Chains A and B, each alone.
Chain A
């Protein structure tokens, strides 16, 4: 189903290459900084950006391309975090080893949740995914194995403070690059086009042969897997997890905002949206100290969603289409 590069791209090869080189240069700069950088705060902030890039790219698969707005990404993230934490608690397995298991646990949950929810379209889907987060959070609070509100402690990594920051910096950077590459591949694959068709008109997609149910399931399971893996790593990074912080609705909301601001349904969107949203949120936190900052933040985002369709990437694409010479039309 994921046969690649089936559809001819509208860009010609050289512009595509040039644009890829920009991102490549950025990645190299980030790698260099990871090696030479000594500011713990900046390393840690960038790690958070990378973590959000991963989550937002994962969200992007079903949400951006498929148009199913999951407002409960944190469910998969949290289940991944708890899976690794609990495996450490009872079997002393390091989250670095169990992160893939955490991903699988989330993927299984994703498939199960998908059965009832992926039949629901539009705003109800968003609502249901949100409710599921609260349901899972409540479950985690009540189950003995997760130790309820007490939370679970993990063991610190035996490295210098700088070493720890560098470790997670590179782990999350690696995940962000890998997941972005995956999303890029999806965008250019039959699978990605099937998702886009579902977003545009699900009934029409089904009628021209898109196996809509399977496509949505796979997209959801892959997203859940990715979120679960970084959830497991995140548990190790913060070394203590408890239900309210791990399943915070803020995380789900941030992910959606980052995708929408950057440009949902494009592989570049999360790369732009994640740092931008975190930056704006931080600036607001510093300048507007009261709780009002969250409200201002939401208003900004709603305005972007309403008046800048396609986010930053949408603006860029429209600008480019207006300024590039018309494609040569076939003589008629």
Chain B
């Protein structure tokens, strides 16, 4: 594991979730260390999005525990988790469409009591710069391209300096240039701000390159966890997801 042995940033312990007859998650356990990237892979329908939803309070787990820095979070609301530094992006970018790009970045800051207007502006500008949207700061969010909306959503997740960001298929259907930019931004915030990420993606080579740790789900179970190299060579992962070349 990437975390120091005593207390990981996020600990997922025997989490289970079913929808009617479908077992979406079955005893999933792993942990995420501080300033690290965890790559989450698995075939469609294997429970990746459900796991993110459970971690971030959209669904309650049927059983098991999720802890953030040792504190139980599996019965908390998403908005409470945002305040403790856990946020996410969605499988399809979801921005506040009629607001200006810059205004989108203010929404997560509304709830930070310590932050004043000047500091908020400075922080927003910093992120606009990071994701290359400075020129579009005053554009209406629905009027920028899909790829730019993804960058905006990413910036919106980071603006409040979260400790952990969950990203659901951030590279699906985006232009290679934007993908490169996203990857660079993720690396940058791990290195500079100590943010951790759980990234769901089917772009296995990219994920292998950027992850410190990987998890593969197959039919709701953890088929393998470990270093990227070991996970992609794991028999069950090849069998259940990657297929034989």
Contacts and interface: CB of A to CB of B under 8 A. Distances in A.
A190 B58 CA distance: 24
A210 B96 CA distance: 13
Contact of A200 (B97, B121, B138): B97
Contacts of B100: 10
Given A8-B121, A204-B90, A329-B135, A209 B82 contact: yes
Interface in A208-230: 208-212
A7 B124 CA distance: 11
B16 to A, nearest CB: 23
B108 interface: yes
Contacts of A329: 135
B175 interface: no
A201 B96 contact: yes
Interface string B86-100: 011010001111111
B160 A208 contact: yes
B120 A208 contact: no
A203 B96 contact: no
Given A193-B107, A204-B90, A209 B121 contact: no
B97 A207 contact: no
A208 B83 contact: no
Contact of B108 (A200, A209, A327): A209
Contact of B96 (A204, A209, A330, A332): A204
Contacts of B88: 207
B36 interface: no
Interface residues of A, number: 26
B2 interface: no
B184 interface: no
A205 interface: yes
B222 interface: no
Given A201-B94, A209-B83, A209-B111, A7 B77 contact: no
Contacts, number: 85
A284 to B, nearest CB: 32
B244 interface: no
Given A6-B110, A6-B120, A327 B83 contact: no
Contacts of B30: none
B7 interface: no
Given A6-B117, A200-B96, A204-B90, 15 more contacts: A5-B117, A6-B120, A7-B106, A8-B121, A193-B110, A196-B96, A201-B97, A203-B90, A205-B96, A207-B79, A207-B82, A210-B79, A211-B111, A329-B135, A332-B134
Interface of A: 5-8, 10, 190, 193-194, 196-197, 200-201, 203-212, 327, 329-330, 332
27 contacts: A7-B103, A7-B106, A7-B120, A8-B117, A10-B100, A10-B138, A193-B103, A193-B107, A197-B107, A200-B97, A200-B98, A201-B96, A201-B97, A206-B77, A206-B79, A207-B56, A207-B79, A208-B82, A209-B83, A209-B108, A210-B110, A210-B111, A211-B111, A212-B79, A330-B134, A330-B135, A332-B135
